[in-house]
Amino acid sequence: MARIAVGGFHHETNTFVTPPTDYAYFCSHRDRPPLVRRVDVLKWLSGISFALSGFLEVMDKEHEIVPLLWTSGGAGGMVTRDAYERIAAELVAELSQQMPVDAIYLDLHGAMVSEDFEDGEGELLRRIRACVGPDMPIAISLDYHANVTHEITDYTDAVSAYLTYPHVDRPETGVRAARTMQHVLKHGRTPGRALRKMPFLIPLHSQCTMVEPSSGIIELTQRLEKQDGVISVAYLAGFPPSDLYQCGPCIVVHATTQEIADRVADEAARTIVLKEPEFAVPVLSPAEAVARAKQIAANASRPVLIADTQDNPGAGGSADTTGLLFALVEGKAEGAVLGYLCDAEAAKAAHAAGKGAQITLKLGGRSGPEGVVPFEGTFRVEALGNGKFRTSGPVSGNRDIDLGPMALLAIGGVKVAVTTKRMQALDQAPFRHLGIEPKDQKILGLKSTVHFRGDFQPIAEDVLVCIAPGGHLADSARYPYQRLRSGVRLMPLGPDSRGPRGR
């Protein structure tokens, strides 16, 4: 029986949006657990849909688990210096107090940027390696959207990444991480490691693993991982809204020899580079999407989905932009529901007015970006909720959620599900909390990029992607990168980065 320290520190940083992500946000209970310590890590994370949950399911039966700290700030603006230092310092301090241990497993994201460190996970791993020495086995799991660096690769002995986007395999990723941990416990640190970065960025809406080319890449990595001498093969599609030198998709391989690691990484990288033209996915303006959705819905028995991809809170969007709402109302859509729009003031006003009331308010549009304005109108308060419920879909199922006071507001043929706290539209439960059955609607406008497909695509007639103003730009060429390495194409087959400025 081994003594294994476990912990987690998640953030998916969009460096181009504000406000920053502070310590209080990491501590809050939203669509995920708050910051938890020691035995509370096991209480909150066991049996739910995170990688650590799957790891515990396997390893808790055979080994002594030493829980340190786990927290997730979701996605948003840059992590503040205060938040990063308090959490990282506490995690490392707790680890030092719990020594000796035989190995470490960390449930990380891989795209965290703080005010001081453009590679938040690499810096955390550096500190942990300094604490435990060069011989301690460290296995980690990463989100599919990780921007992996040489530091992350070198400080670890196995990287297990999500195989799905939408992420429906978080616990299974933890199970695979447990298997790599069993190997390193037996054989010690991994001798071979390789990182290959791709020469182009992939927009999030083109990264879905339910379709080609991503599905084929995942299948390839799984075949390669079964070869003799291979410990782990991870394909990370990258998170474009992060301004750092190593931003972008990559392959990470850990193996029993350097020769095996290099050979496998090179084979996978060649395949991905050849697929670059296949990552182009057509998108529509909000007005075009609404017109097309109405046309399809007229002869459909299932809802048409419109992804409001640039206001995806899972990519740092504010969840309160109004471009798609304006298009739905001005396009006279009927049987349409938009969610989830985050506006604490509107939710409070609806609760004060009561169900059935008519209220005039300015909805959304409080957080930018430039050109986004509130939608002013008179709404009927259709339903109210306290925002506390349990999710049920494959991406975030079995989580106890607290979105604060919620309201369903109606104007014309359009209804808006309003929340107090941000949540990506990746689960049907918030709609049902307000009395809306998603499958019975004509049109569903969803503030999400791809995660919505896990729970909503099975009930959909068709899926459309629209580009309304928001904090997550679908066209990476529009981001004002300052640190990205030179020669990287900003979109598949697109213009090249001009390289770091002011470094």
- Cis ω on the peptide bond leading into residue 481 (within 30° of 0)? no
Contact in structure between 317 and 311 (CB atoms under 8 Å):
yes
| DSSP label at residue 186 | H
CA neighbor of 102 nearest in space, from 56, 135, 129, 142? 135
Domain ranges of the chain: 3-279, 286-473
State both tokens at 304.
């048409």
- Nearest-angstrom CA–CA distance, 75 and 26: 11
Provide the token pair at 46.
Answer: 């066991």
Rounded to 5 degrees, φ, ψ at 214 are: -65, -35
The pTM of the full predicted model, rounded to 2 decimals, is 0.90
Give the pLDDT of residue 280: 83
Query: How high is the pLDDT of residue 105?
Result: 98
Q: Can you read off the two tokens belonging to residue 357?
A: 């009331």
Measured CA to CA, the distance from residue 135 to residue 127 in angstroms comes to 14
Residue 501's pLDDT is 73
**Where do we find the tokens 């942990």?**
128
DSSP element (H, E) containing 232: strand 230-236
- Per-residue pLDDT, 81: 98
Would you state the pLDDT for residue 172? 98
Phi, psi for 307 (deg, rounded to 5)? -85, 115
d(CA 408, CA 398): 23
Per DSSP, the three-state class of 332 is coil
**Alpha carbon separation from 453 to 59, 170, 320, 363, 464 (Å, rounded):** 31, 16, 21, 26, 11
Q: How far apart are CA 47 and CA 398, in angstroms?
A: 8
Task: Say how many Å lie between the first and final Cα of the chain, rounded.
Answer: 48
Token pair, residue 194, equals 């390789």
- Residuewise pLDDT in 10s, the chain (503 residues): 999 999 999 999 999 999 999 999 999 999 899 999 999 999 999 999 999 999 999 999 899 999 999 999 999 999 999 999 999 999 999 999 999 999 999 999 999 999 999 999 999 999 999 999 999 999 999 999 999 999 999 999 999 999 999 999 999 999 999 999 999 999 999 999 999 999 999 999 999 999 999 999 999 999 999 999 999 999 999 999 999 999 999 999 999 999 999 999 999 999 999 999 999 888 999 999 999 999 999 999 999 999 999 999 999 999 999 999 999 999 999 999 999 999 999 999 999 999 999 999 999 999 988 889 999 999 999 999 999 999 999 999 889 999 999 999 999 999 999 999 999 999 999 999 999 999 999 999 999 999 999 999 999 999 999 999 999 999 999 999 999 999 999 999 999 998 897 44
Look up tokens 């927290």; give the residue: 71
Distance CA 495, CA 487 (A): 9
Residue 146 · residue 162 · CB < 8 Å? no
Please say whether the beta carbons of 234 and 161 come within 8 A.
Answer: yes
